[in-house]
Amino acid sequence: MAQPTVELTVATKGKRIAGAERELLAADLKQRYEAGATIRALVEDTGRSYGSVHRLLSDAGVIFRPRAAIRGKQRT
């Protein structure tokens, strides 16, 4: 069964979210992040800050991918 999604609009920018609305947004962001979206793309789509999106993903239990700048580089 598909997860319900939240309409992600710029109207949510700066608006404090809580309860069921926060859980739905976090679940939708998690699904999109795990499907390959970047945090920056989610920020652009939602109009929310990087920190806000990162916190929602973290609270949703996301295991974050390595940063693109260090992927493929080996440390010596």
Q: What is the dihedral of CA 42, 4, 14, 34, to 10 degrees?
A: -20
- The values of phi and psi at residue 9, to 5°, are -130, 165
**Angstrom distance (rounded) from CA 8 to CA 29:** 10
pLDDT tens digits, one per residue of 19-69: 999 999 999 999 999 999 999 999 999 999 999 999 999 999 999 999 876
Lowest mean pLDDT among 5-9, 28-32, 65-69, 72-76: 5-9
Please return the burial class of 46, using the count of CB atoms within 10 Å of its CB with bins 0-12, 13-18 and 19+.
buried
Query: What residue has token string 């493929």?
Result: 72
Q: Report DSSP state, residue 71.
A: T
- What's this model's pTM, rounded to 2 decimal places? 0.73
